[in-house]
């Protein structure tokens, strides 16, 4: 998996293009939480759930179904005054789904682990993408500190710089439209 820093960056940046009558801080907060939430499955290790089980690490909580099901619920809970099924509600819901799903996508481009269960509960197959430039971040602070440099370098090169460039280009485009 990538580091929590990278999941947070991607989730936070997804708020940029969203136009809805909602608090920006709450929107960014929601998207950040959803971008990190799939790793709640690491609790399964303490409960004796095997890695390869559908409820194990990179299983159900990393699936497309989980992201698509959680997004409307999260949107409605965090923004209860936003009229359900309005255009603003849909914008936030789509961003919420993308934030949650981005977690599995990032995990699927790492060089370690056992793949991501994108299609759980319909299919238990675990997959990686053919292109896997990110170094997997070890679980645990001590393990991470021993291998932080190559992990962070790969994330900077392959996620942070492109994501920040896209966000900057989007902001320039938006400013030109407004100004």
Question: What pLDDT digit, counting tens, does each position of 99-114 carry?
Answer: 999 999 999 999 998 9
Mean pLDDT of the chain: 94
Neighbour-count burial of 85, counting CB atoms closer than 10 A to its CB (0-12 exposed, 13-18 middle, 19+ buried): exposed
Share of the chain above pLDDT 70, in %: 98
| Domains in the chain: boundaries | 4-178
pTM of the model: 0.93
Question: What pLDDT digit, counting tens, does each position of 39-64 carry?
Answer: 999 999 999 999 999 999 999 999 99
Backbone angles phi, psi at 116, to 5 degrees: -120, 135
The dihedral of CA 118, 124, 128, 134: what is its sign?
positive
pLDDT of residue 179: 62
60-64, 145-149, 157-161: least confidently modelled range: 145-149
């Amino acid at each position: 998996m990538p580091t929590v820093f990278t999941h947070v960056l991607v989730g936070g940046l997804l708020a940029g293009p969203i136009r809805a009558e909602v608090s920006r801080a709450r929107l960014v907060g929601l998207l950040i939480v959803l971008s990190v939430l799939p790793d709640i499955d690491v609790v399964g290790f303490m409960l004796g759930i095997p890695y390869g089980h559908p409820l194990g690490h990179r299983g159900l909580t990393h699936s497309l179904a989980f992201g698509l099901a959680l997004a409307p619920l999260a949107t409605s809970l965090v923004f209860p005054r936003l009229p359900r099924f309005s255009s603003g509600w849909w914008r936030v819901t789509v961003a919420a789904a993308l934030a949650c799903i981005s977690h599995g996508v990032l995990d699927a481009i790492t060089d370690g682990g056992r793949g991501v269960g994108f299609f759980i509960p319909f299919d238990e197959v675990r997959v990686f993408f053919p292109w896997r430039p990110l170094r997997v971040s070890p679980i645990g602070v001590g393990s991470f500190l021993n291998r932080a440099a190559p992990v962070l370098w790969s994330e900077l090169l392959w996620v942070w710089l492109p994501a920040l460039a896209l966000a900057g280009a989007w902001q320039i485009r938006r400013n030109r439209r407004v100004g």
